[in-house]
Structure 1
Amino acid sequence: MSAPQTSAPLAPSEPVHPSQPTLSDVTIMMVDDEPMMTDVAQAYLEDAGYTRFVAVHEPLQAMETARAQRPGLILLDLMMPELNGFDLLRLIRLDERLRYTPVIVLTAASDPASKLRALELGATEFLSKPVDASELKIRVRNSLAFKVYQDRLANDDPLTGLPNRRVFVEQLKAGLVRARYSHGTLALLHLNLDRFRQINDTLGHGTGDLLLVAVAERLRQTTRSTHSLLGQRLGDAPFLARLGGDEFALLMPDIPSPEAASRVARQVLDALSRSFHVDGQDVYLTPSIGISIFPDDGADDASLLRTAGVAMQHVKASGRNGVEFYSEKINTVSVERLLLETQLRGAIERGELVLHYQPKVDLRTGHIVGAEALLRWQHPTLGLVAPGRFIPIAEECGLIVEIGEWVIQRACAQLAQWRAEHRLAVRVAVNVARHSVVSGTLLDTTRDALQRHRVPARQLILELTESMLMDRVETTAAKLHALRALGVELSIDDFGTGYSSMSYLKQFPVQELKIDRSFVKGTPDDRTDTAIVRALVVLGHSLGMRVVAEGVETEEQRVAMQTLRCDCYQGFLCSPALPAADFIQKVREVNGQPARA
């Protein structure tokens, strides 16, 4: 039994992008029990520029050879002993790896029944022997052109043109085989674009797509330079892919050390820190990058993808825009975070979310005239969980809008209860998440809560940040005017820490401006902070806004705010945020009587 004859076979160590073959890349496999026929076909195709061939003269060896060589096209004779071409066609189409390989049938059996049967079994083309050289070249060219298109659909990300997740996993598996054989080290970088959902929501999905294309091109340029950076061989080129959404991955085979992966990751950070000019505007973004190393962080493709993803999520949880290697410590934190996310999903139904209320004090009278509702999670085993620990999780997993709706409903229910039971009519402010504004649900949620609990609209204040106001100014202004038409008040939280433009600020129907605690903290001793607070008070009053100082902790700060003509303050000097019942007690203690909004 003769072995298959090969001409310039594919080297298994060379990662080839499957969707961009050239004539020299394509392996053509010829299956015919007559060697003279394969020699003639090969001569014709060599004349057309093809260079890689595998000839199989024993039909029983055909499937094993095809699985090993993964040819780009098969030339198949129908009439062969032991195993005919019809049976081989059936086996090829049943094999997951060969199912879509073009098969051109070359046979002397030119009767219509044989031709129809071959086509029904999946033959791509049908040529009669003796084969015409020109026709063979044309049929091969057309079949390969269609395969290129088919491969691109199956292997390429249609937006960026990068290999997709399936192809990346194949390359990763192949890289692991080589790394095990050579006892080498392999690195996987998992990259996620920070706050990309916000960019999509703000600028639109069309602009988001253009940005992804620009990111992909910059990553291509960056990874090309890693050859000189690492001094790697050509066959060990980094392999870049888009895993989906705003996630990319970079495979670095045979790296000299983990530090080399870190250097490349830093190079990527630097490249993506530069602005992207997209759709007529400059857009800035940052990536979070997690790195896993073979063999330390995983022995197979699934493990390495998981550990790199865990490291990437840890970067996000730690402030974004950074690089992190996987470690067991990170894994423990990730498991805890995942558990927290799972438990958070049912927290509303289980009644675990609660609102605490921080008093807002009128600086002229000293009376409590309102409160800011602050969210807390009464966890059954962890106790009272601060929002800084679970709100970022809610934003990332898409729960923030639902939680925001609950907060507004609960605040209105509490206002109704205070009015009915204690004749207490204060204003309560709730913090609004960016996603609630962008999603368009805020207006309906607010209207429903006010009507359901029969609360006067003027008792509810919605707090927004400066950066939220600056997103899609005209659209945001229209939404805020609609909210204002309900009768609720609007407040700008942490004013002075964002990037408000005065020309934009006057477009918004805002009734309250809250000075960030970072400016209040230095008063009255810090002359700069005092000057800033004075300027912000003048600005707020000139625009017809009530001005509230946040974070007042000392009597000296309270006096300073009063002297600077702030209207109200909130902070630990009066009280931290309190449960609803304790807030009522605090109002009675400070006011001596029920408060009026």
Structure 2
Amino acid sequence: MSLHGMDCATPKAMERRMPIKDKLQKPELETIMLIDDDPVSLLVMAESLQEVGFAVIESNDGHKGLTLFAEQHPALILVDLQMPGMDGYTFCKSVRSTPLGRDIPIVVVTGVDDVESIERAYDCGATDFIIKPIRWSIFRHRIQYILRSSNAMQSVQRSSNLLAEAQRVAKLGNWTWDLNEQKLFVSEESYRIFGVPRVDPGVFHRLLMSSVHKDDKKGFDIAVQKASDGEATDFAFLACLPNGEAKNILMHLDGSAEHLEPGHRIFGTIQDITERRKAEESVRQLAYYDSITGLPNRDLFKEHLSMALHQAERSKEKIAVMFLDLDNFKRVNDSLGHEAGDALLKAVSERLHESLRSSDLAARDVADMNSSLARLGGDEFTVMLSGLHGIEHVEMIAQRILDRIAEPMMLSGNRVCVSSSIGIAIYPEDGEDLDTLLRNADAAMYEVKSQGRNGVFFYDNALRQQSHDRLELESELHTAIEQDQLTLFYQPKVDAETCQLLGFEALIRWIHPERGMVSPIDFIPVAEESGLILPMGAWVIKTACRQYQAWRKVTDTEFSVSVNLSAHQFADEHLMTTIRDILIETEMPAQYLEFEITETVLMQDADAAMKILDQMKVMGLRVSIDDFGTGYSSISYLKYFPADVLKIDREFVKDLPDDEQDATITNAIILLGKALNMGIVAEGVETESQLQWMRDKGCDQIQGYLFSPPVPPERAEEMLIDPFSLRHD
């Protein structure tokens, strides 16, 4: 390039003639690369650009310019088209072929003003061109504008790339729908979602419409109509794609934008939610289905029953709810292991399915019914039969279930037979709400258990009255706790040889203002079912400890107090914290507090029980195994339980010394306890001959009516103060 044809006014002269208001605002420092084989042209352009704050790098050769570009990364390139060696066309092509050169603005400077040369420059990658002679008054403005435009375009491109990447990650595409032309203009991600290359908008419209699953077409059309009326809406549907793949699609449709003519165009997004639906289904499976049998769990069964109740209320139909419990599950689980127990549960669920299969049921009105199965937990299952017009076939179905479950099966190489007990409640006769029906079916099932198991029992008037009485008792028990109607009685334990008082067992009593003394046999089960047993149990422990401290003020006699722990208390994760807090509050010496726990409770989870007993021993508490010999026990576990005392149940004592079997069993318990260095307490001793028999066999302590029944605290205090008041005749 030469100065020939250039405006004769130099940049400095031009700037001197410009009014102050026309002087250029200096931009932030940006680098511009100049490539020209004419050193004078390089000098003049460099001076012009540097005076307004640009950094300038120069090259007089296209090849060197490429090297310099790769090293310096300028913001804009000015290059002369006509140069020896590598001309401006070739330079443009070379720059555009590199990753860094795809977006950089390249301005070609040329004295050639024919259209063909300019088009060739654009084809080679030029962004703009400047024709000589250069008008210096607008040169720098032109460069600034090109840079500004380039930066804006790059910013838009970055945003577009980020949006495209975000849409790809979110599997979210956007679209505009021309309702008149039936064309869909979609983003790149929309093509990817549908697994097709770029196609004509009309073709994509037909593709979308044909992919909507037939079950979703009506809902899809309604959503489109809502959007065309200006109402934004979301619609999820199953898309059957051309490649045979099925995807869950969530479509947002909107026609409310101001620039859209109502009824002609709508816009929105389209998202592939297939993975989300799979994840949701996995979560639902975990939340609503039993992991062992695959059956619905308690929560889902309640949902099914609730919906069936609403339907039955409208249609005036009946519902049968069956509560099923396996009779021998614990024995199988304990003897063959948990894997065999799980296999048994799976087999039972399959047999339940088979028993309810409509094709196997002869009666038409039964075949038309709906059924739902669930495993509530443990060995408890529920069956719901809805859509019933009568109940004459319900017992037939229940008996079919009993018979099918009772058939032998192979578990872990063993031939196993189990039976089941089924209680049935009918809507609306036995309850009009979910909880009442389940509770009454459960009560009917327990009636089967009480009658020997392996049978069916319908909830009836007798059970209805029992249920009513139990609800009434529960209400009154709440009142009893609030109004301090509960109290503790104390039954003494004495030394078998000397008859010296050694301690008391604290026993809860309810003195009802109208009913009088209510038996613990009646209200303890109610307390357990209602959840009152935990606060009641804590009250018993605290009251016994306070009574001990009160008695210590009136006697120097050394004695202990024992308290019974129920299964619910023993399973309470806060039990040890509760005991520790009570000991601290009442200042009770731990070594004088004993907890009586039945062997049945201990064996429900022997390993967990051992940990709790260990904690009790660390705290200094005493532990007694109550009712020994009446429940399920394991001698192998018993030797590891850190217990201090074995209590012989009164069932083995009442017929002594005449009953040889009881004598043999009781003697064996005493010998076992002695071998394990445990003290022995005999309950229910009522005669001199029983006392003498216990002495002869080495029993340590006696508890029973021979010495005293359970008595109020005042009478127990008299026994502490006056030991002679305890002596029997």
Same fold (TM over 0.5): yes
Paired with 1:332 and 1:263, the residues of 2 have a C-alpha distance of 26
Higher mean C-alpha deviation, range 340-349 or range 485-494: 340-349
Paired with 2:642 and 2:443, the residues of 1 have a C-alpha distance of 39
- Superimposed CA distance per residue, residues 195-239 of structure 1 (whole angstroms, 9 cap, x where no aligned partner): 9xx99xx99xxx99x989975773453143234774234852541
SS at match of 1:421: coil
> Pick from 63, 73, 76: which aligns with 2:221?
76
Paired with 1:593 and 1:249, the residues of 2 have a C-alpha distance of 54
Q: Which residue of 2 aligns with 1:239?
A: 371
Residues 87/549 of structure 1: CA separation in 2 closer, same or farther (3 Å cut):
same
Residues 106/309 of structure 1: CA separation in 2 closer, same or farther (3 Å cut):
closer
| Offset, 1:434 | 2.7
Paired with 2:480 and 2:265, the residues of 1 have a C-alpha distance of 62
> Pick from 462, 482, 485: which aligns with 2:618?
485
Paired with 1:230 and 1:277, the residues of 2 have a C-alpha distance of 27
SS at match of 1:333: helix
| Offset, 1:587 | 5.2
- Superimposed CA distance per residue, residues 451-495 of structure 1 (whole angstroms, 9 cap, x where no aligned partner): 333333332111111123334434422321221233221111111
What CA RMSD, in Å, does the superposition of the two structures yield over aligned residues? Answer: 5.3
Q: Is the 8 A contact 2:487 2:509 kept in 1?
A: yes
| Offset, 1:283 | 13
SS at match of 1:582: helix
| Offset, 1:498 | 2.5
Q: Is the 8 A contact 1:102 1:143 kept in 2?
A: yes
Paired with 1:72 and 1:154, the residues of 2 have a C-alpha distance of 26
SS at match of 2:646: strand
Residues 269/551 of structure 1: CA separation in 2 closer, same or farther (3 Å cut):
farther
Q: Which residue of 1 aligns with 2:351?
A: 221
1:169 aligns with 2:301: no
Q: Is the 8 A contact 1:467 1:500 kept in 2?
A: yes
Q: Which residue of 1 aligns with 2:712?
A: 579
Q: Which residue of 1 aligns with 2:61?
A: none
| Aligned AA (2:219) | I
Q: Which residue of 1 aligns with 2:24?
A: none
SS at match of 1:76: helix
| Aligned AA (2:700) | D
| Aligned AA (1:524) | P
SS at match of 1:552: coil
- Superimposed CA distance per residue, residues 305-342 of structure 1 (whole angstroms, 9 cap, x where no aligned partner): 45523422434775676754234443343233223323
Paired with 2:701 and 2:495, the residues of 1 have a C-alpha distance of 4
> Pick from 165, 189, 213: which aligns with 2:321?
189
- When the two structures are superposed, what TM-score results if normalisation uses the length of structure 2? 0.55
Paired with 1:110 and 1:276, the residues of 2 have a C-alpha distance of 68
Residues 337/499 of structure 1: CA separation in 2 closer, same or farther (3 Å cut):
closer
Paired with 2:693 and 2:705, the residues of 1 have a C-alpha distance of 16
Residues 176/223 of structure 1: CA separation in 2 closer, same or farther (3 Å cut):
farther
- When the two structures are superposed, what TM-score results if normalisation uses the length of structure 1? 0.66
1:441 aligns with 2:574: yes
- Structure index of larger Rg: 2
Q: Which has the higher contact order (CA 8 A, sep 6+)?
A: 1
Residues 292/461 of structure 1: CA separation in 2 closer, same or farther (3 Å cut):
closer
What does residue range 63-212 of structure 1 map to in structure 2 within 5 Å?
74-76=219-221, 86=229, 113=260, 157-159=288-290, 162=295, 164=300, 165-174=302-311, 180=316, 186-191=318-323
Residues 542/143 of structure 1: CA separation in 2 closer, same or farther (3 Å cut):
closer
Paired with 1:47 and 1:124, the residues of 2 have a C-alpha distance of 16
| Unpaired stretches in structure 2, ≥5 consecutive residues | 1-178, 180-205, 237-247
1:497 aligns with 2:630: yes
SS at match of 2:229: helix
Paired with 1:427 and 1:260, the residues of 2 have a C-alpha distance of 60
Q: Which residue of 1 aligns with 2:383?
A: 250
1:393 aligns with 2:526: yes
> Pick from 312, 325, 335: which aligns with 2:441?
312
Residues 294/443 of structure 1: CA separation in 2 closer, same or farther (3 Å cut):
closer
1:558 aligns with 2:688: no
Residues 269/176 of structure 1: CA separation in 2 closer, same or farther (3 Å cut):
farther
Paired with 2:592 and 2:408, the residues of 1 have a C-alpha distance of 43
Q: Is the 8 A contact 2:680 2:701 kept in 1?
A: yes
Q: Is the 8 A contact 2:319 2:386 kept in 1?
A: yes
Higher mean C-alpha deviation, range 392-401 or range 507-516: 392-401
| Offset, 1:553 | 2.2
| Offset, 1:285 | 10
- The count of corresponding residues between Structure 1 and Structure 2 is 494
SS at match of 1:576: coil
| Aligned AA (1:546) | G
Q: Is the 8 A contact 2:425 2:437 kept in 1?
A: yes
Paired with 1:253 and 1:400, the residues of 2 have a C-alpha distance of 36
Paired with 1:389 and 1:432, the residues of 2 have a C-alpha distance of 17
Alignment identity in percent? Answer: 31
- Superimposed CA distance per residue, residues 86-105 of structure 1 (whole angstroms, 9 cap, x where no aligned partner): 37886999xxxxxxx99989
1:372 aligns with 2:372: no
